[in-house]
Amino acid sequence: MERYLVKDLMVPISEYATVTVGTTLLDALRVLERAQDAYTVSKYHHRAILVLDADGNVVGKISQLRALKAIQPEVELTEELAEIRRFKFSENYLAELRDIRSYGKIIKKETLLVAAGKKVEEFMQAPTPGEFVSEDSSLDIAIHRLVAGAHMSLLVTRDDRIVGVLRISDVFAALFHGMMAAAA
Amino acid sequence: MKELEILFNRIVQRVNINLRELHFDVSPYAATLFPSDQMSKFYAFYGITPGHPLDLHFEHSALAGSYFLGKCRVRNSLLYKSDIRGDELKRKDQSIRFDRFTLTMNKDELIDIEDSALVKTLVHNYSHDPETPEKFFIKDTLAMDYSNIHGSPCDGTFLGPFATVDLTTMRDCVIGAYSYIQAGEISHMDIAPGTIWVNSPGNFNFFYKYPADALAEYVSLSPEKVPWGILIDFIEQRKIEFQRVFDYANIEAIESVPKTSSLDRYAVVLPNMRIADNVLISQRAYLENSSLGKGSNAQENCFIINSCLEGNNVTAHGAKIVETDMGSGSFVGFNSFLFGKKEARLKIGNGCVIMPHTIIDIEEPLEVPVEHLVWGLIKNAADLAENSISLEKLGTLHGSFTQGRMHFEGEGMLLLKAFKDRIFHILDVNGAFFEDGQKAGHAQRNQRLSLNTIQPFQFGPMEGMYPNIRILP
């Protein structure tokens, strides 16, 4: 395990679920569904979708959490919470208020239809500087970046191109096996 | 350029420097704020009593139509029709408790106004800041029409029209129109118009914000026109009645006022008024065809019209009560506007607490049940249901509670206690409980008050400014 490099554990970009800018949330989820169906023939279980620009560059990522955020009617709620937070209400109060305001508003046909038509670029997560790792980096560096940025995956680079995705689940599995072997 | 203009520009610059981090520029509002042609037309006046220290110090300032009582210093400032009431300042050797500290005053407290502009503003109470117990400072501050600075030292602050800061030290803050803030200490906050915030850290936190569009009907502010709305119109329509009491040096005393009550000579009283014992009527109060029961008070800038106050009613600074019947012991907070109509009277039950900056504007008769806390904008029974809570239920609140646009966190019992203690204190200091020569308050002591006037320069480059004056016993 000590000799593992990032490229040994990454999912190649060619095998990852991708959509292009301009795709709706509903179409993006269809792509993800097809990728999940292919899980039986591929070794990769997909939980996220990469968003590519017209030149095929990765410009964003849609995790399951991002998709849920797109469905939540966020704007009104966010404004109210931001306002209340300034006036010294506790995080506990804000959490309860969020529950109250959200109740019965998400799982509604109208809300779901609005969310289905949203374009991926409206809610995708753009990559941040700490979210990249070179394919020749050691797992030490990758683990540090996953932990420091609280990322579920890293984008793997070769020169200035993105060639794959390093998922936290694969790193964790490798770490766990390494630990078991060390303890044996 | 005249000295008045130079001074005004200097104050605006100082306020703007303090508010630069909030990207707030007071210049557009300030441009039309001071009627420069009026600054030399009104005299200033001050009270002399045997009960309060007399120490007034005016330096390089304009004071048109303003009133002073107690120990006050005004330097490099413009005051227009403002009341600086130092009758509740702390006294030498007096001790106050703050948390685990007991603070003993080594001199009489001073209201210290410097590099500030106050328009029709009330300054009252005493510094609640334990760091400056002997100095109630107002510095680099611009306060607009009918704002209240109550026990709240300010440094680098803008107060919009009808804004109130209560028992709160402020540094570099913008307080929007018709906002009421009582929060101990705040800094670098830009607070939107119509925000009602009462925070006692660790005890309770109450927040309500008016819908912007609805509030705009009552008070609005823009750089092009300042300020306007129903509240301003209401006051402007009655402005002429104040001219009579300010134009004459001596006006006839109203004999129907009991000996235990006091009626300020700068209050407007129109027929037919009934005034019971232990009533305090402060200057710039406007009373018409109403009844004030025993122990009631009408504080500065109050309007009480076609209404009945049963007794022990507090009408706090700037509150307006029209076509309303107030039950015994009910309280109306700062700048509230109870606007009943002849065919749609408002009835407030006994022991109710109408929170500061509440607007009740009805077209159908409405009754607030006894012992209720009321807040926000109310135009009908449905609004009342959303914006009120029984004091009994309030006392049981623990943790989080939201109702309509109101948010509450903490112990309801502590909020209830804070209000009840405060109301009792106000009645007490105003002399509501005076009996057999005991428990005298402002209502009795103010009868031993006389007034002097001071005049500004009438001509030349100093027109509108006042000479430097020190007034001592």
pLDDT digits (tens, 9 = 90+) for B161-217: 999 999 999 999 999 999 999 999 999 999 999 999 999 999 999 999 999 999 999
Nearest to A89 among B183, B209, B407 (CB): B407
Residues of B in contact with A88 (CB under 8 A): 183, 199, 201, 205
Nearest to B452 by CA among B40, B42, B39, B43: B43
What is the arithmetic mean of pLDDT over B59-77?
97
**Distance (Å, whole) CA A69 – CA A55:** 27
pTM given for the model: 0.84
Q: What is the ipTM of this complex?
A: 0.89
Nearest to A89 among B183, B209, B409 (CB): B409
pLDDT band, residue B252 (cuts 50/70/90): low
Contact at CB, A93 and B207, closer than 8 angstroms: no
Residues of A in contact with B207 (CB under 8 A): 84, 87, 89
pLDDT band, residue B222 (cuts 50/70/90): confident
**Distance (Å, whole) CA B21 – CA A45:** 50
Q: Return the structure tokens found at B322.
A: 């029209």
Cβ contacts from A onto B, under 8 A? 26
Question: For residues B359 and A101, which has the higher predicted lDDT (pLDDT)?
Answer: B359
**Distance (Å, whole) CA B179 – CA B154:** 16
Residues of A at the B interface (Cβ-Cβ below 8 Å)? 83-84, 86-90, 92-93, 96-97, 100
What pLDDT sits at residue B254?
67
Superfamily of domain B3-235+449-471, CATH level 4:
Hexapeptide repeat proteins (2.160.10.10)
Domain residue spans in chain B? 3-235+449-471, 238-399+412-446
**Distance (Å, whole) CA B132 – CA B165:** 17
pLDDT band, residue B447 (cuts 50/70/90): confident
**Distance (Å, whole) CA B213 – CA B193:** 11
What pLDDT sits at residue B91?
95
Nearest to B346 by CA among B335, B361, B334, B328: B361
Give the chain B residue nearest A96 (alpha carbons).
B400
Q: pLDDT of B5-63, one tens digit each? A: 999 999 999 999 999 999 999 988 887 787 778 889 899 999 999 988 999 999 999 99
**Distance (Å, whole) CA B219 – CA A28:** 49
Q: Return the structure tokens found at B1.
A: 């350029």
Q: Return the structure tokens found at B358.
A: 């509440």
What pLDDT sits at residue B249?
56
**Distance (Å, whole) CA B233 – CA B220:** 11
Contact at CB, B400 and A86, closer than 8 angstroms: no
Superfamily of domain B238-399+412-446, CATH level 4:
Hexapeptide repeat proteins (2.160.10.10)
Residues of B at the A interface (Cβ-Cβ below 8 Å)? 183, 189, 197, 199, 201, 205, 207, 209, 400, 402, 407, 409
**Distance (Å, whole) CA B335 – CA B346:** 17
Question: For residues A152 and B14, which has the higher predicted lDDT (pLDDT)?
Answer: B14
Does position A42 have pLDDT exceeding 60, yes or no? Answer: no
What is the arithmetic mean of pLDDT over B428-442?
93
Q: Return the structure tokens found at A163.
A: 């060639």
Residues of A in contact with B201 (CB under 8 A): 88
Residue B18 to chain A, least CA–CA distance (Å) = 20
Burial level of A109, CB count in 10 A (0-12/13-18/19+)? exposed
Q: Do B3-235+449-471 and B238-399+412-446 fold alike per CATH? A: yes
Q: Return the structure tokens found at B465.
A: 């400014």
Contact at CB, A90 and B409, closer than 8 angstroms: yes
